[in-house]
Structure 1
């Protein structure tokens, strides 16, 4: 009988036999020794590296989504898990954030250091140059200064756009010249553009011309490796690739159109991103393994996990808008760079099994069509030894089938990989006593000591005599009506003040004598103040309608609207037209204030003076009792926490840290000057979560992130990653750290907790 045994010793015995038969070791890739020149070509079956066909497993790891010191930890674990290629974008707007004449490659933007480590760990690289990246990254990776170029149309056959794209790509290729495979580097594939085929029709004939120009220009750079274009089925001179949850059914049409191109899956969406106000999406590991096995059975030869390690949207890098700071993505390596089980270990075993049978796969052509054994049961056979048996039915009842004179039991929505009549891998099989959702965030514990040594506070309104709300400095702009926010802030801040002086009239009041503010269109979020006193908040796409309460019922006052972005759009056509801030009419009652002469200012005062750099000239107010009664407890308050690091573990390979911000509301965090990102304790509002489905290993049927979530009615994110090297400010002898917080509404910083998780690998 060929039924699966719940005994991994048998599985590994079979695998050892296969390895010995093929004369290969499981850890077989010796990619990048010294400065060896690597020759990379391809045909319709696979990528060919130095004359050898390769079955490749790739993992998306974005270098700026973790700290420098975590890179080797993550890359080593990836290599040990059977990953062959690291897939990363290069993010234009972190390298040239403010102007085309500046270049930034320090800290976790140091891409050459990242590539050096990839080579050191014997990992190839797929460099996705774009320059559009999507990636749930703010503005899709575009620097905001592009908007200021007259007549520019992004991603279009537009001379201004093509000029800027050419300059950037030429710089990248020159800057990274030593890292391309023909020069002994790890980069074996490069991508131009990104998922353009999904939007191309919105640009008409110009879109078609632009797609052709993009690959022609890319190839003119002569980097000596293949170019890919994902979701681009009208370009023959680049390898067209697939993105999605399932790509096996894409292969036949791909080969029909491009018979000389291999079938690559550049994004197997291994989970999904999370928005503020949403519960956490999860994707069952059995479904991922099922989709992988079907893709390979149909003839695929490269699979990239998007994401293999997701990491964190530090600073203001999350896109959306509304995407949370965590970019965990339910990836095999969780946000903190540690195994997310059982996804990590089962994916690793899958890679090892498939690497061992690589020659059986790639030295045989995929069958032109599967053999059907019964309804929903199909077989793909490679030579006489290897078969993939798939049950794509969704009935919960297993099927008993006959194949090659053997009897097998196959679960629904699963694939059996058979070698010499024995089951090498069953995508539905979960080892006994497996813990699901076993990852770092569920195992954090508070530091068992009172680490907060002191708390200081100051209102943003008190940081200079001009106050907040846009009064008084050279950064202010006057206009009859509100100006679009990005023109004011240049995206150097989430925050933009809109202020105007109001004298109420009879039109301002309703029949009950109340004053209501209406803003007909704004993005993404507003806090409303009158003479520095908080009135209320609203967020788009809802209409802002808010009752105002002027101090002492005054008929003259300053109306101050603090507009906020929460990540810029990362996926859309014509992103050059993207606007934020106050875009509609502003009324008090029926009194229209839209043309009432407005003052606009970028950023909070604390941001503009870089209060997060812990400048000792700030006149902080001390809270010696550290009790909530001594706190300002008003909107737009800065808090400074000095915390003790004495006795805390400093082993970066086994300890991770995070802040529990459950006692706060909404704002931003800095640790020792490093921007941790936005925090917001908004509750996930989905009414149905699937915790029980996850615990019961339910995975049958096509995955949809909207139907497979956990942690409803909890904050979308309350735990915020703090890289250990940032916590200790790159000096593990440091005895304290400084946390700076801007709280937009109210909260109790006394109850902020530093969490740790001692990892046992």
Structure 2
């Protein structure tokens, strides 16, 4: 979840789990994840899900090897591959040997193995896995006529039932440290603000930051008008978290005098909003409400004549679990009305509203020009 700790599993523990799987008779290992990824744009689900799907994988979401995990698991599977003749020679379960209170061995062979004797010259195909499941103490075990020292929480792999080819707690792979630095595009790739931000007044470029004055309400050719309050997702088709609603309200001189005499303001009421609603009157922010299907009551300052009332619906992720999640919806529910008028409330629910999908500055070319990362890798031997 967003703000939660990043998952991390040591290479030694990952290797231990895989080795134990094969030791106890496993035949097909699945990694989740082996190659980390990124849930771009709106594919992360929600609510409030991070976009990274890296999960401390051996290959990270940028395509770089995460050392020593990648190298350590590669060495593990190389050792397991050496055991292949013995692994496939067993018809049934491997031979089990108790080596201590928290130590055990599993022996794969094409015949009965005398585990208290050396395997040299006996002609059998044989591989063994020696495990110490004590999390804190080293253990010395006796098998195949010799002693083996096992680190805590580890598995030693003996492809020939004699020599240790790999131990999960002993990392021989290189270690790398990744550093990520954010920076600006090179000087030659920088564009003038007039080219990057066409048609936006008040835009400027300073150092490595681009800024622009946000255009609110309806501004583009994709806007449309219809009667009634439409459901957010049905309009945006899940292409944006943002949907603008705009209508006009005519205020008389009598209304203004009424509010002045009472020293009060009218209020906009919406039965339910999700997740964020912002109210603008004549281009100025009047207020906001945050919550999951909560009511909104916002005092508004009108002037005599025609006033532009604009609502911005913002969703923060979509539900991706639970019953009837597809019916949860987004935007506004119930009545939208103005209260506190001298002649009674005005129901705006069935008024003509003009709709505009998303913010102006959510444009792909802006993201490409303004986002630039350099990755460096330092190898420790």
Query: TM (normalized to structure 1)?
Result: 0.37
Residues 550 and 557, structure 1, Cα contact 8 Å, conserved in 2 = no
Residues 516 and 589, structure 1, Cα contact 8 Å, conserved in 2 = yes
Query: In the alignment, which residue of structure 2 is the partner of 1:294?
Result: 20
2:76 counterpart SS class: helix
Measured in 2, the distance between the counterparts of 1:378 and 1:336 equals 40
2:52 counterpart SS class: coil
Matches within 5 A, 1:311-330: 311-330=37-56
Query: In the alignment, which residue of structure 2 is the partner of 1:284?
Result: 10
Q: Given the alignment of the two structures, is residue 353 of structure 1 paired with residue 85 of structure 2, yes or no? A: no
- From 638, 659, 670, the equivalent of 2:364 is 670
Query: In the alignment, which residue of structure 2 is the partner of 1:331?
Result: 57
Q: Which has the higher strand share?
A: 2
Distance apart, 1:339 and its partner CA: 1.0
Residues 365 and 382, structure 1, Cα contact 8 Å, conserved in 2 = no
Query: In the alignment, which residue of structure 2 is the partner of 1:756?
Result: 374
Query: In the alignment, which residue of structure 2 is the partner of 1:364?
Result: 90
Residues 527 and 562, structure 1, Cα contact 8 Å, conserved in 2 = yes
Q: Given the alignment of the two structures, is residue 498 of structure 1 paired with residue 245 of structure 2, yes or no? A: yes
Q: Which has the higher helix share?
A: 1
Aligned positions, number? 337
Residues 139 and 150, structure 2, Cα contact 8 Å, conserved in 1 = yes
2:107 counterpart SS class: strand
Measured in 1, the distance between the counterparts of 2:14 and 2:87 equals 20
Q: Given the alignment of the two structures, is residue 580 of structure 1 paired with residue 330 of structure 2, yes or no? A: yes
Structure with higher Rg: it is 2
Matches within 5 A, 1:602-613: 602-604=356-358, 606=360
Distance apart, 1:539 and its partner CA: 5.2
Distance apart, 1:586 and its partner CA: 5.9
- Unaligned residue ranges in structure 2 (runs of 5+): 114-125, 203-214
Residues 338 and 348, structure 2, Cα contact 8 Å, conserved in 1 = no
Q: Given the alignment of the two structures, is residue 418 of structure 1 paired with residue 158 of structure 2, yes or no? A: yes
Distance apart, 1:333 and its partner CA: 1.6
2:166 counterpart SS class: strand
1:379 counterpart SS class: strand
Q: In the superposition, relative to structure 1, how do residues 414 and 459 fare at CA in structure 2: closer, same or farther (>3 Å)?
A: farther
Query: In the alignment, which residue of structure 1 is the partner of 2:232?
Result: 485
1:323-357 deviations in Å (ceiling 9; x for gaps)? 33333332222222111222221122222222222
Query: In the alignment, which residue of structure 2 is the partner of 1:563?
Result: 313
Q: In the superposition, relative to structure 1, how do residues 753 and 579 fare at CA in structure 2: closer, same or farther (>3 Å)?
A: closer
- From 336, 342, 349, the equivalent of 1:595 is 349
1:15-34 deviations in Å (ceiling 9; x for gaps)? xxxxxxxxxxxxxxxxxxxx
Query: In the alignment, which residue of structure 2 is the partner of 1:455?
Result: 193
Q: CA RMSD in A?
A: 4.5
Compare relative contact order (CA 8 Å, sep 6+) and give the higher one, 1 or 2: 2
Measured in 1, the distance between the counterparts of 2:325 and 2:63 equals 33
Residues 478 and 598, structure 1, Cα contact 8 Å, conserved in 2 = yes
Measured in 2, the distance between the counterparts of 1:584 and 1:409 equals 71
Matches within 5 A, 1:463-482: 468-470=216-218, 475-476=223-224, 478-480=226-228, 482=229
Measured in 2, the distance between the counterparts of 1:515 and 1:391 equals 74
2:57 counterpart SS class: coil
Matches within 5 A, 1:428-439: 428-431=169-172, 434-435=175-176, 438-439=177-178
- Unaligned residue ranges in structure 1 (runs of 5+): 1-274, 607-637, 639-667, 677-737, 740-751
Measured in 2, the distance between the counterparts of 1:599 and 1:325 equals 34
Measured in 2, the distance between the counterparts of 1:605 and 1:461 equals 15
Query: In the alignment, which residue of structure 2 is the partner of 1:191?
Result: none
1:504-561 deviations in Å (ceiling 9; x for gaps)? 999x9xx995788776754444444333334565655495768666477x89854433
Query: In the alignment, which residue of structure 2 is the partner of 1:401?
Result: 141
Residues 477 and 599, structure 1, Cα contact 8 Å, conserved in 2 = yes
